[in-house]
Amino acid sequence: MPLRKAIGETELMWMMALLMALNAFGIDAILPALDALAADLSVEGNARQFVIGVYLLTAGIGALVPGALADRFGRRPILMGSILVYIVLSLLSAIAPTYDMLIAVRAAQGFFAAGIIALPPAIIRDRVGGDKMARMMSLIFVIFLMVPAVAPSIGEAILLVADWRAIFGVMAVAGVAVGAWVHFRLPESLSEENRQPIRVGTIARNMTRALSLPSVVGYVFGSALVFGALFGFINSSQQLITETFGAGDIFPMVFGICAGSMALASWSNSRIVERFGARRVSHTALFAFILVSACQVFFAFQPEESLWHFVPLMAINMALLGFIGSNFGAIAMNPFFAIAGAASSAHGFIRMTTAALLGGAIGYAYDGTARPLALALLASGLTCLVLVLLSEKGKLFGPSDAEAGMGTS
Protein backbone atom coordinates (compact mmCIF):
# COMPACT_ATOMS: atom_id res chain seq x y z
CA MET A 1 0.00 0.00 0.00
CA PRO A 2 1.43 3.38 -0.94
CA LEU A 3 2.18 5.80 1.88
CA ARG A 4 -0.67 8.15 2.71
CA LYS A 5 -0.79 11.43 4.53
CA ALA A 6 -1.91 10.65 8.10
CA ILE A 7 -5.67 10.78 8.43
CA GLY A 8 -6.89 13.14 11.14
CA GLU A 9 -9.52 12.38 13.76
CA THR A 10 -12.18 14.51 12.10
CA GLU A 11 -11.80 12.87 8.69
CA LEU A 12 -11.64 9.42 10.30
CA MET A 13 -14.88 10.04 12.21
CA TRP A 14 -16.69 11.21 9.07
CA MET A 15 -15.39 8.24 7.12
CA MET A 16 -16.43 5.67 9.75
CA ALA A 17 -19.81 7.34 10.17
CA LEU A 18 -20.58 7.30 6.45
CA LEU A 19 -19.45 3.69 6.20
CA MET A 20 -21.97 2.75 8.86
CA ALA A 21 -24.49 5.04 7.20
CA LEU A 22 -24.40 2.88 4.06
CA ASN A 23 -26.10 0.24 6.16
CA ALA A 24 -28.62 2.72 7.56
CA PHE A 25 -29.42 4.05 4.09
CA GLY A 26 -29.95 0.50 2.86
CA ILE A 27 -32.61 0.08 5.54
CA ASP A 28 -34.36 3.42 5.86
CA ALA A 29 -34.48 4.72 2.29
CA ILE A 30 -36.73 1.84 1.26
CA LEU A 31 -39.31 2.48 4.04
CA PRO A 32 -41.55 4.91 2.10
CA ALA A 33 -41.50 2.51 -0.86
CA LEU A 34 -42.83 -0.52 1.05
CA ASP A 35 -46.38 -0.01 -0.18
CA ALA A 36 -45.24 0.27 -3.82
CA LEU A 37 -42.85 -2.67 -3.42
CA ALA A 38 -45.59 -4.81 -1.86
CA ALA A 39 -48.06 -3.97 -4.64
CA ASP A 40 -45.50 -4.59 -7.41
CA LEU A 41 -44.29 -7.94 -6.02
CA SER A 42 -47.67 -9.12 -4.62
CA VAL A 43 -46.65 -9.07 -0.93
CA GLU A 44 -49.40 -9.21 1.67
CA GLY A 45 -49.71 -7.79 5.19
CA ASN A 46 -46.75 -7.56 7.55
CA ALA A 47 -44.60 -9.73 5.27
CA ARG A 48 -43.41 -6.56 3.53
CA GLN A 49 -41.26 -5.92 6.64
CA PHE A 50 -39.02 -8.89 5.79
CA VAL A 51 -37.08 -6.80 3.26
CA ILE A 52 -35.84 -4.84 6.30
CA GLY A 53 -35.72 -7.60 8.91
CA VAL A 54 -33.76 -10.15 6.88
CA TYR A 55 -31.04 -7.60 6.14
CA LEU A 56 -30.68 -6.76 9.84
CA LEU A 57 -30.59 -10.43 10.85
CA THR A 58 -28.00 -11.60 8.34
CA ALA A 59 -25.86 -8.53 9.01
CA GLY A 60 -25.72 -9.66 12.62
CA ILE A 61 -24.79 -13.22 11.69
CA GLY A 62 -22.23 -12.00 9.18
CA ALA A 63 -20.61 -9.80 11.83
CA LEU A 64 -18.86 -12.91 13.17
CA VAL A 65 -16.67 -13.15 10.08
CA PRO A 66 -14.97 -9.83 9.22
CA GLY A 67 -13.53 -9.08 12.67
CA ALA A 68 -11.53 -12.31 12.89
CA LEU A 69 -10.27 -11.86 9.32
CA ALA A 70 -9.41 -8.22 10.01
CA ASP A 71 -7.39 -9.24 13.09
CA ARG A 72 -5.24 -11.38 10.80
CA PHE A 73 -5.09 -9.60 7.44
CA GLY A 74 -5.74 -6.02 8.52
CA ARG A 75 -8.75 -3.73 8.48
CA ARG A 76 -8.39 -2.30 4.97
CA PRO A 77 -8.70 -5.37 2.73
CA ILE A 78 -11.67 -6.80 4.62
CA LEU A 79 -13.42 -3.45 4.66
CA MET A 80 -12.90 -2.91 0.93
CA GLY A 81 -14.27 -6.38 0.21
CA SER A 82 -17.39 -5.62 2.26
CA ILE A 83 -17.98 -2.38 0.37
CA LEU A 84 -17.61 -4.12 -3.00
CA VAL A 85 -20.19 -6.75 -2.02
CA TYR A 86 -22.55 -4.03 -0.82
CA ILE A 87 -22.36 -2.31 -4.22
CA VAL A 88 -22.87 -5.45 -6.30
CA LEU A 89 -25.78 -6.77 -4.25
CA SER A 90 -27.47 -3.36 -4.23
CA LEU A 91 -27.53 -3.57 -8.03
CA LEU A 92 -28.87 -7.12 -7.90
CA SER A 93 -31.62 -5.98 -5.51
CA ALA A 94 -32.64 -3.38 -8.06
CA ILE A 95 -33.31 -6.04 -10.71
CA ALA A 96 -34.77 -8.83 -8.53
CA PRO A 97 -37.80 -10.19 -10.42
CA THR A 98 -39.69 -11.63 -7.41
CA TYR A 99 -40.05 -10.91 -3.71
CA ASP A 100 -38.43 -14.22 -2.79
CA MET A 101 -35.44 -13.34 -4.96
CA LEU A 102 -35.25 -9.87 -3.40
CA ILE A 103 -35.28 -11.37 0.10
CA ALA A 104 -32.50 -13.80 -0.87
CA VAL A 105 -30.32 -11.00 -2.29
CA ARG A 106 -30.94 -8.79 0.74
CA ALA A 107 -30.01 -11.68 3.04
CA ALA A 108 -26.73 -12.17 1.16
CA GLN A 109 -26.07 -8.43 1.20
CA GLY A 110 -26.52 -8.22 4.95
CA PHE A 111 -24.23 -11.19 5.57
CA PHE A 112 -21.36 -10.45 3.19
CA ALA A 113 -21.33 -6.67 3.71
CA ALA A 114 -21.34 -6.95 7.51
CA GLY A 115 -17.83 -5.53 7.67
CA ILE A 116 -19.12 -2.00 7.11
CA ILE A 117 -20.82 -2.29 10.50
CA ALA A 118 -18.40 -4.54 12.39
CA LEU A 119 -15.08 -2.90 11.53
CA PRO A 120 -15.46 0.85 12.29
CA PRO A 121 -15.47 0.30 16.10
CA ALA A 122 -12.33 -1.85 15.75
CA ILE A 123 -10.60 0.83 13.66
CA ILE A 124 -11.46 3.46 16.28
CA ARG A 125 -10.32 1.13 19.10
CA ASP A 126 -6.97 0.72 17.31
CA ARG A 127 -6.41 4.43 17.98
CA VAL A 128 -8.17 5.29 21.25
CA GLY A 129 -10.03 3.71 24.18
CA GLY A 130 -12.02 4.57 27.30
CA ASP A 131 -14.16 7.71 27.48
CA LYS A 132 -12.31 9.22 24.49
CA MET A 133 -13.51 6.30 22.39
CA ALA A 134 -17.04 6.93 23.72
CA ARG A 135 -16.72 10.58 22.67
CA MET A 136 -15.52 9.65 19.18
CA MET A 137 -18.23 7.01 18.78
CA SER A 138 -20.82 9.59 19.85
CA LEU A 139 -19.63 12.00 17.17
CA ILE A 140 -19.67 9.15 14.65
CA PHE A 141 -23.26 8.40 15.65
CA VAL A 142 -24.19 12.06 15.14
CA ILE A 143 -23.04 11.90 11.52
CA PHE A 144 -24.30 8.34 11.04
CA LEU A 145 -27.78 9.22 12.33
CA MET A 146 -28.14 12.12 9.94
CA VAL A 147 -28.71 9.47 7.27
CA PRO A 148 -31.72 7.72 8.89
CA ALA A 149 -33.16 11.17 9.53
CA VAL A 150 -33.13 12.06 5.82
CA ALA A 151 -33.11 8.63 4.11
CA PRO A 152 -36.93 8.27 3.95
CA SER A 153 -37.14 11.73 2.40
CA ILE A 154 -34.50 10.72 -0.15
CA GLY A 155 -36.47 7.56 -0.87
CA GLU A 156 -39.66 9.62 -1.24
CA ALA A 157 -37.89 12.00 -3.64
CA ILE A 158 -36.62 9.09 -5.74
CA LEU A 159 -40.18 7.74 -5.96
CA LEU A 160 -41.28 11.04 -7.51
CA VAL A 161 -39.08 10.43 -10.57
CA ALA A 162 -38.60 6.63 -10.64
CA ASP A 163 -39.92 3.43 -9.10
CA TRP A 164 -38.76 1.72 -5.89
CA ARG A 165 -35.99 -0.19 -7.71
CA ALA A 166 -34.07 3.05 -8.29
CA ILE A 167 -33.54 3.34 -4.51
CA PHE A 168 -31.25 0.31 -4.64
CA GLY A 169 -29.38 1.89 -7.55
CA VAL A 170 -28.73 4.98 -5.43
CA MET A 171 -27.44 2.69 -2.67
CA ALA A 172 -24.87 1.31 -5.10
CA VAL A 173 -23.76 4.80 -6.13
CA ALA A 174 -23.33 5.76 -2.47
CA GLY A 175 -21.25 2.62 -1.96
CA VAL A 176 -18.95 3.57 -4.84
CA ALA A 177 -18.40 7.07 -3.44
CA VAL A 178 -17.60 5.93 0.11
CA GLY A 179 -15.50 3.02 -1.17
CA ALA A 180 -13.32 5.36 -3.24
CA TRP A 181 -12.77 7.56 -0.19
CA VAL A 182 -11.73 4.59 1.94
CA HIS A 183 -9.44 3.26 -0.78
CA PHE A 184 -7.51 6.48 -1.23
CA ARG A 185 -7.43 7.82 2.33
CA LEU A 186 -7.70 5.10 5.00
CA PRO A 187 -4.35 3.69 6.20
CA GLU A 188 -4.05 0.30 7.85
CA SER A 189 -4.63 0.71 11.61
CA LEU A 190 -3.71 -2.79 12.80
CA SER A 191 -0.08 -3.07 13.91
CA GLU A 192 1.96 -6.15 13.03
CA GLU A 193 2.40 -7.23 16.65
CA ASN A 194 -1.38 -7.34 17.18
CA ARG A 195 -2.17 -9.56 14.18
CA GLN A 196 -3.87 -12.77 15.26
CA PRO A 197 -3.47 -16.14 13.52
CA ILE A 198 -6.41 -17.63 11.64
CA ARG A 199 -6.97 -20.63 13.86
CA VAL A 200 -10.44 -21.73 14.83
CA GLY A 201 -9.32 -22.23 18.40
CA THR A 202 -7.74 -18.77 18.61
CA ILE A 203 -10.75 -17.06 17.06
CA ALA A 204 -13.13 -18.96 19.32
CA ARG A 205 -11.08 -18.07 22.41
CA ASN A 206 -10.92 -14.39 21.45
CA MET A 207 -14.65 -14.15 20.77
CA THR A 208 -15.53 -16.17 23.86
CA ARG A 209 -13.39 -13.84 25.95
CA ALA A 210 -15.09 -10.82 24.38
CA LEU A 211 -18.51 -12.20 25.34
CA SER A 212 -17.73 -13.75 28.70
CA LEU A 213 -15.93 -11.02 30.63
CA PRO A 214 -18.44 -10.33 33.45
CA SER A 215 -17.88 -6.58 33.39
CA VAL A 216 -19.04 -6.25 29.75
CA VAL A 217 -21.65 -9.01 29.27
CA GLY A 218 -24.52 -6.87 30.56
CA TYR A 219 -23.61 -4.02 28.24
CA VAL A 220 -23.51 -6.23 25.13
CA PHE A 221 -26.74 -8.11 25.78
CA GLY A 222 -28.49 -5.12 27.34
CA SER A 223 -27.86 -2.90 24.34
CA ALA A 224 -29.04 -5.73 22.08
CA LEU A 225 -32.41 -5.70 23.83
CA VAL A 226 -33.03 -1.95 23.74
CA PHE A 227 -31.94 -1.75 20.10
CA GLY A 228 -34.22 -4.71 19.37
CA ALA A 229 -37.13 -2.54 20.45
CA LEU A 230 -35.78 0.24 18.21
CA PHE A 231 -35.63 -2.20 15.29
CA GLY A 232 -39.24 -3.07 16.08
CA PHE A 233 -40.11 0.58 15.50
CA ILE A 234 -38.14 0.69 12.25
CA ASN A 235 -39.84 -2.47 10.96
CA SER A 236 -43.35 -1.29 11.74
CA SER A 237 -42.90 2.49 11.41
CA GLN A 238 -44.35 2.78 7.92
CA GLN A 239 -47.50 0.89 8.92
CA LEU A 240 -47.78 2.65 12.27
CA ILE A 241 -47.59 6.14 10.82
CA THR A 242 -49.59 5.37 7.68
CA GLU A 243 -52.29 3.00 8.97
CA THR A 244 -52.58 3.55 12.73
CA PHE A 245 -52.26 7.33 12.73
CA GLY A 246 -53.31 8.05 9.14
CA ALA A 247 -50.33 10.29 8.48
CA GLY A 248 -48.63 8.58 5.55
CA ASP A 249 -48.14 11.88 3.73
CA ILE A 250 -45.80 13.11 6.48
CA PHE A 251 -44.08 9.78 7.20
CA PRO A 252 -40.57 10.97 6.14
CA MET A 253 -40.92 14.01 8.42
CA VAL A 254 -42.08 11.93 11.40
CA PHE A 255 -39.31 9.39 10.93
CA GLY A 256 -36.79 12.21 10.50
CA ILE A 257 -37.88 13.82 13.79
CA CYS A 258 -37.32 10.55 15.65
CA ALA A 259 -33.96 9.76 14.03
CA GLY A 260 -32.87 13.40 14.30
CA SER A 261 -33.46 13.37 18.04
CA MET A 262 -31.06 10.43 18.29
CA ALA A 263 -28.42 12.35 16.34
CA LEU A 264 -28.84 15.41 18.59
CA ALA A 265 -28.44 13.21 21.68
CA SER A 266 -25.28 11.63 20.28
CA TRP A 267 -23.81 15.09 19.71
CA SER A 268 -24.72 16.06 23.27
CA ASN A 269 -23.14 12.86 24.55
CA SER A 270 -19.89 13.68 22.77
CA ARG A 271 -19.77 16.98 24.68
CA ILE A 272 -20.33 15.51 28.15
CA VAL A 273 -19.08 11.93 28.19
CA GLU A 274 -15.42 12.65 28.93
CA ARG A 275 -16.45 14.92 31.78
CA PHE A 276 -19.04 12.68 33.45
CA GLY A 277 -17.96 9.23 32.20
CA ALA A 278 -19.66 6.72 29.91
CA ARG A 279 -21.21 4.79 32.79
CA ARG A 280 -22.75 7.75 34.59
CA VAL A 281 -24.28 9.13 31.38
CA SER A 282 -25.60 5.84 30.02
CA HIS A 283 -27.03 4.64 33.35
CA THR A 284 -28.95 7.88 33.77
CA ALA A 285 -30.27 7.59 30.21
CA LEU A 286 -31.38 4.00 30.83
CA PHE A 287 -33.52 4.99 33.81
CA ALA A 288 -35.07 7.79 31.75
CA PHE A 289 -35.69 5.32 28.88
CA ILE A 290 -37.66 3.06 31.24
CA LEU A 291 -39.74 5.99 32.52
CA VAL A 292 -40.58 7.26 29.03
CA SER A 293 -41.43 3.71 27.89
CA ALA A 294 -43.90 3.43 30.77
CA CYS A 295 -45.54 6.62 29.50
CA GLN A 296 -45.72 5.10 26.01
CA VAL A 297 -47.50 2.03 27.40
CA PHE A 298 -50.00 4.28 29.21
CA PHE A 299 -50.90 6.24 26.06
CA ALA A 300 -50.90 3.16 23.82
CA PHE A 301 -53.70 1.66 25.90
CA GLN A 302 -55.86 4.78 25.73
CA PRO A 303 -58.89 4.47 23.43
CA GLU A 304 -57.68 7.13 21.00
CA GLU A 305 -53.90 7.55 21.07
CA SER A 306 -52.93 10.40 18.76
CA LEU A 307 -49.87 10.83 16.58
CA TRP A 308 -48.89 13.81 18.74
CA HIS A 309 -48.76 11.60 21.83
CA PHE A 310 -46.76 8.94 20.05
CA VAL A 311 -44.16 11.01 18.19
CA PRO A 312 -42.74 13.13 21.06
CA LEU A 313 -42.37 10.10 23.35
CA MET A 314 -40.81 7.97 20.59
CA ALA A 315 -38.42 10.80 19.72
CA ILE A 316 -37.40 11.17 23.38
CA ASN A 317 -36.73 7.44 23.70
CA MET A 318 -34.68 7.41 20.50
CA ALA A 319 -32.72 10.37 21.88
CA LEU A 320 -32.04 8.40 25.05
CA LEU A 321 -30.74 5.54 22.90
CA GLY A 322 -28.22 8.07 21.59
CA PHE A 323 -26.82 8.29 25.11
CA ILE A 324 -27.02 4.53 25.67
CA GLY A 325 -25.72 2.99 22.43
CA SER A 326 -22.29 4.55 21.90
CA ASN A 327 -21.45 4.51 25.62
CA PHE A 328 -22.46 0.88 26.08
CA GLY A 329 -20.39 -0.01 23.00
CA ALA A 330 -17.31 1.85 24.25
CA ILE A 331 -17.57 0.27 27.71
CA ALA A 332 -17.84 -3.19 26.19
CA MET A 333 -14.90 -2.66 23.80
CA ASN A 334 -12.51 -0.99 26.24
CA PRO A 335 -10.80 -4.16 27.62
CA PHE A 336 -10.04 -5.63 24.18
CA PHE A 337 -7.32 -3.53 22.54
CA ALA A 338 -5.29 -6.51 21.26
CA ILE A 339 -8.32 -8.36 19.83
CA ALA A 340 -10.49 -5.39 18.84
CA GLY A 341 -11.57 -6.98 15.55
CA ALA A 342 -12.77 -10.23 17.13
CA ALA A 343 -14.40 -8.34 19.99
CA SER A 344 -16.19 -5.96 17.60
CA SER A 345 -17.45 -8.90 15.54
CA ALA A 346 -18.60 -10.87 18.57
CA HIS A 347 -20.38 -7.88 20.08
CA GLY A 348 -21.87 -6.94 16.71
CA PHE A 349 -23.13 -10.50 16.22
CA ILE A 350 -24.94 -10.52 19.56
CA ARG A 351 -26.35 -7.03 19.18
CA MET A 352 -27.49 -7.35 15.58
CA THR A 353 -28.92 -10.88 15.66
CA THR A 354 -30.70 -10.40 18.97
CA ALA A 355 -31.98 -6.97 17.96
CA ALA A 356 -33.03 -8.17 14.49
CA LEU A 357 -34.93 -11.19 15.83
CA LEU A 358 -36.59 -9.14 18.55
CA GLY A 359 -37.31 -6.28 16.17
CA GLY A 360 -38.77 -8.68 13.61
CA ALA A 361 -41.05 -10.23 16.22
CA ILE A 362 -42.21 -6.81 17.41
CA GLY A 363 -42.83 -5.63 13.88
CA TYR A 364 -44.70 -8.80 12.93
CA ALA A 365 -46.84 -8.43 16.05
CA TYR A 366 -48.16 -5.12 14.68
CA ASP A 367 -51.92 -5.22 15.25
CA GLY A 368 -52.99 -1.80 14.09
CA THR A 369 -51.98 -0.14 17.36
CA ALA A 370 -48.75 1.01 19.05
CA ARG A 371 -49.25 -1.40 21.96
CA PRO A 372 -46.80 -4.18 20.93
CA LEU A 373 -44.04 -1.61 20.41
CA ALA A 374 -44.70 0.23 23.68
CA LEU A 375 -44.73 -2.97 25.74
CA ALA A 376 -41.51 -4.14 24.05
CA LEU A 377 -39.75 -0.84 24.80
CA LEU A 378 -40.62 -1.07 28.49
CA ALA A 379 -39.72 -4.76 28.80
CA SER A 380 -36.40 -4.31 27.02
CA GLY A 381 -35.44 -1.34 29.19
CA LEU A 382 -36.19 -3.17 32.44
CA THR A 383 -34.32 -6.29 31.34
CA CYS A 384 -31.36 -4.18 30.20
CA LEU A 385 -31.21 -2.57 33.65
CA VAL A 386 -31.05 -5.99 35.31
CA LEU A 387 -28.20 -7.07 33.01
CA VAL A 388 -26.20 -3.89 33.66
CA LEU A 389 -26.68 -4.30 37.40
CA LEU A 390 -25.24 -7.81 37.13
CA SER A 391 -22.20 -6.55 35.19
CA GLU A 392 -21.62 -3.73 37.66
CA LYS A 393 -22.28 -5.92 40.73
CA GLY A 394 -25.09 -3.63 41.73
CA LYS A 395 -23.07 -0.38 41.56
CA LEU A 396 -24.27 2.21 39.05
CA PHE A 397 -23.40 5.78 37.99
CA GLY A 398 -19.63 5.55 38.15
CA PRO A 399 -16.58 3.89 36.58
CA SER A 400 -15.75 0.37 37.66
CA ASP A 401 -12.59 -0.23 39.68
CA ALA A 402 -10.99 -1.77 36.58
CA GLU A 403 -11.84 1.20 34.36
CA ALA A 404 -10.67 3.71 36.91
CA GLY A 405 -7.14 2.29 36.69
CA MET A 406 -7.20 1.55 32.96
CA GLY A 407 -5.58 3.63 30.28
CA THR A 408 -6.52 3.70 26.64
CA SER A 409 -4.01 1.15 25.44
- Determine phi and psi for 242, rounding to 5 degrees: -80, -50
pLDDT attached to residue 2 = 44
| d(C-alpha 49, C-alpha 143), whole Å | 26
- Determine phi and psi for 262, rounding to 5 degrees: -70, -40
- Report the percent of the chain where pLDDT is more than 70: 94
Q: Are 69 and 206 in contact (CB under 8 A)?
A: no
What is the 8-class DSSP label of residue 367?
-
CATH number of 10-186+199-397: 1.20.1250.20
| d(C-alpha 102, C-alpha 371), whole Å | 30
Q: Are 27 and 214 in contact (CB under 8 A)?
A: no
Q: Are 66 and 144 in contact (CB under 8 A)?
A: no
pLDDT attached to residue 4 = 52
Ranges of the chain whose pLDDT falls below 50: 1-3, 400-409
Nearest of 263, 280, 307, 309 to residue 20 by alpha carbon:
263
Q: Are 51 and 103 in contact (CB under 8 A)?
A: yes
* Burial (CB count <10 Å: 0-12, 13-18, 19+), residue 177: exposed
Cβ atoms within 10 A of the Cβ of 191, count? 10
Domain boundaries, the chain: 10-186+199-397
pLDDT attached to residue 130 = 66
| d(C-alpha 193, C-alpha 124), whole Å | 18
Of how many residues is the chain composed? 409
| d(C-alpha 116, C-alpha 80), whole Å | 9
Compute CA 184 distance to the chain's CA centroid, rounded to the nearest angstrom. Answer: 26
What is the 8-class DSSP label of residue 243?
I
Please spell the DSSP secondary structure of 185-211, one letter per residue. HPPP---GGG-----HHHHHHHHHHHH
Using DSSP, how many helices (H) and how many strands (E) does the chain show?
A: 17, 0
Largest Cα span, the chain: 65
Please tell me the pTM assigned to this model. Answer: 0.76
- At 111, is the secondary structure helix, strand, or coil? helix
pLDDT attached to residue 54 = 92
pLDDT attached to residue 100 = 94
